[in-house]
Amino acid sequence: MRLATLANGTPDGELVVVSADGKRFLAAGERWPNLLAAFTDWQKAEPALRATVDEVEQGAGGKITAQTAFRAPMPRAWQWLDGSVFSTHARLMEVAFNTDPIENQRPLMYQGQSDRFYGPTEDVPFGSEADGIDFEGEFGVIVDHVPMGCTPAEAMERIRLLVQINDWSLRAYAVPEMKTGFGFILAKPACSVAPFAVTPDELHDGWRDGRVCLDLQIDWNGKRFGSANGREMDVGFHELVAQAATTRDLVAGTIIGSGTVANAGYAEVGSSCISERRAIEIIADGKPTTGFMSFGDHIRMAGVDAAGGKPFGAIDQQVVCRP
């Protein structure tokens, strides 16, 4: 099942069900006006939404065009937690920022801004190019209610939807905030999310061991920047969810990210953020040569399956100067 949200003048938008080929959509109806509402009672919402899938596959609803105004599938959420569970990314970031390894027996995670998520084609405003504007391609999950102290196996059963995310970062603020030990505020503005949230079965073999095993193809200003695969997570999403629920319940509708997708073979597949490329340049040449983003730059991201399909659709955005 593939779900999306259309702009309708309300904070949470209108929930729609999308056909498997991504060409048609049908409104979910008054009972489930938006995705956040659907997560208040997913046990009842899911069968109703799957019934709507049958209707849209039979030709009901409207056509999706280039002018269709998709927002993030969940334009705002109760909670956004982002992990960092690709060890290749962690090692490269230590080089990029000249920091020591973080000694931790648990997966790394921080709590970020959840009151808004940019839609897949919205311009993204920033205050200054000097802030070190960087993209970070990753995958994520949206969970049903997760009880405190659940096991990874139990957490797997609470993963309802999968999403694709650009976790924007401002690198000029990152290291100073890390040194405080209190987490990110200035370094982590709102994220962007690809248009379609999908149930795990939609990915078929692309969902394995709690991992989104798709290539995340990233193009910066029209040039391929990276195509790392999500399979190399050190722990699966189910383990990440269980970690987040160690000392608290997770409310239904919580979004949890994987952190920047990275592969050990980065020389062949490239990277999912600029800071990684800068680290690779430092390792090779002693200094970085790639700069961060400028106003007017474009970024495109799409998770691609083995057949070349794009189950999440694509993020396709421009960086602009804050009005």
| pLDDT, tens digit, 9 for 90 and up, residues 61-83 | 999 998 899 999 999 999 999 99
pLDDT category at 96 given cuts 50, 70, 90 is low
Share of the chain above pLDDT 70, in %: 97
| pLDDT, tens digit, 9 for 90 and up, residues 258-308 | 999 999 999 899 999 999 999 999 888 899 999 999 999 999 999 999 999
Measured distance CA(112)–CA(302) in Å, rounded: 23
Return the domain boundaries, the chain: 2-63, 80-321
String of b and e for 58-90 (b: at least 16 CB within 10 Å)?
Answer: eeebeebeeeeebbbbbbbbebbbbbbbbebbb
Per mean pLDDT, which range of 126-130, 173-177, 239-243 is the poorest?
Answer: 173-177
User: Is this model's pTM higher than 0.85 or not?
Assistant: yes
Nearest to 195 by CA among 84, 52, 64, 42: 64
Measured distance CA(255)–CA(208) in Å, rounded: 19
Nearest to 161 by CA among 100, 224, 226, 72: 72
Strand partners, 48: none
Reduce the secondary structure of 122-159 to three states and give it as a string: CCEEECCHHHCEECEEEEEEEECCECCCCCHHHHHCCE
The structure tokens listed for 46 are 């899911």
Tell me the CATH architecture of domain 80-321.
Alpha-Beta Complex (3.90)
Secondary structure percentages of the chain, helix, strand, coil, to 5: 25, 30, 45
Nearest to 254 by CA among 140, 167, 154: 140
**What confidence score (pLDDT) does residue 254 get?**
98
